[in-house]
Amino acid sequence: MIPDALLALIRKFEGLRLKPYLCPAGVPTIGYGHTGPDVRINMPPISEPTAEAMMQQDAATFHRAAGKLSPRLWLEGDNKHAAIADFCFNLGTTRYKSSTLKRRVDAGDWQGAAEELQKWVWGGGKKLPGLVARRKAESTLIVNP
């Protein structure tokens, strides 16, 4: 089951856009931050129920992926797992896989993990307020289960 905390993070920080757009990284995106080969910049708008279904599927995918990469998350409760799954949703599992953040999570160093999250706030060479807020929300879930 997908933790409510994960869905809340995605809804809050991705926002809902029914028309396709290019995210800051230049990737075609729709709904609640949904990307992939099914998203084209010239596709017609989607409905809110379709966006919700896409988000549920994406959230489940990244929840499982985070747990596979850091199995201890399955034992640590929904909030910690949701925080790392949201990080993976936002930045991808490849970045998480090779990160110091993952090493902290795997060691159970939650304060260290919260500190590592604060380093992932840059986009296009700029510190982005939206990423600062998102990492703060994830950190809060990690240190205040």
* 85 CA to centre of own chain: 5
Q: Is 76 a catalytic residue?
A: no
Report the candidate in 15, 62, 66, 11 with the shortest Cα–Cα distance to residue 36. Answer: 62
- Output the pTM of the full model: 0.94
Is the pLDDT assigned to residue 73 strictly greater than 90? yes
Tell me the pLDDT tens digit for each residue of 79-115: 999 999 999 999 999 999 999 999 999 999 999 999 9
Q: Is 115 a catalytic residue?
A: no
Report pLDDT for 16: 98
Number of neighbours of residue 78 by Cβ within 10 angstroms? 18
- For the chain, give every domain's residue range: 4-143
SS3 category, 51: helix
The catalytic residue among 14, 76, 116, 138 is: 14
Q: Give the mean pLDDT of 8-15.
A: 97
CATH 1.10.530.40 is held by the domain 4-143: yes
